Structures are given as structure tokens and as C-alpha cells.
Amino acid sequence: MNSAHSQLLYPMLGLVFLNMIVGLRMLFCRVREMRGKRIHPQAAANSVQMAARLEDVLAADNFRNLFETPVMFYTLCAIALATNFVPEWLVIGSWAYVVLRYLHSYIHCSYNRVMHRLSVFLLSFALLVGMWFAFVLSLPRV
């Protein structure tokens, strides 16, 4: 594995780590709220029951978000690694994308100002779309 390959793995691992952080926060928030309200776990066995009983859903909402557009990021990185084509700009762009996703998660899980969150999301999504287009256009011709 060459240097560019290993450099691309780090932002991917950074995003995986973010999923773990948000997942643990979601677990902590749910357990705390369910204990505080004395909700039996079976009373929140599905998403409809959960929504009816729990109010602190920010981390859960963000956790779901981390399995939406980031899938396109993982796919791009996997294709880059599989084709052995990892340009330096892709590594830099990947780190920028991961930083934006951390910022989005911070906003979403804390003060949750929608316009701040939307701005960061749009920036990260535009970056991701741009990275996809640039990657496809710069692929070596066979």
C-alpha cells in the first residue's frame, strides 16, 4: 500500500470514529431520558413508540444522517483505492469533508440551529459532489 492509499484511509477512519462518537452519545441520551422518565425499554421498541415517548432525539437524528450522504464518500474512497488512483487533492478534499461532517454533527447534537446546520451540510454536500465529478473527469484513460 503506497502513501496516498494510507493517507486516504485516515479520513475514512475519522468518519467511522464520528459514527462511533454519535452512536455512543445517542445511547447515553436515550438511556438517561428513559431512566429519568421511567420508560420501560419495551415501551420504546420501535421508531413510532420511541418518537412518542422520547424528546431528546438530536443524536439519533444525526446518527441516521451519518448513513446518508457519507455513504457516497465511502464509495468514492473505496473506488479510488480499488482503482489504485488516489490523487493528492482527493486526500485533502476528504479531510475537508470529514471536518465539515464533524462540524455538522456538533451543531446537530448541541444547539441545533437549523440554518447553521444546513449551511454546513450544503457545503459538505457540494464538496462531495465536486470530488465525485473531479474524480470521474480525472480518471486515467485506458
pLDDT tens digits along 37-67: 999 999 999 989 988 999 999 999 999 999 9
- CA–CA distance from 95 to each of 14, 23, 79 (Å)? 9, 21, 17
pLDDT at 20 (0 to 100): 98
> What is the structure's pLDDT at 1?
63
Show Cβ contacts of residue 101 under 8 Å, excluding neighbours closer than 6 positions.
Answer: 15, 18, 66, 70, 124
Q: How far apart are CA 141 and CA 127, in angstroms?
A: 24
**With a threshold of 0.85, does the pTM exceed it?**
yes
Q: Kindly state the cell numbers that stand for 137.
A: 473527469
Q: What is the pLDDT of residue 142?
A: 60
pLDDT at 140: 83
- The ranges of the chain with pLDDT < 50 are none
Q: Which CATH class is domain 3-138?
A: mainly alpha
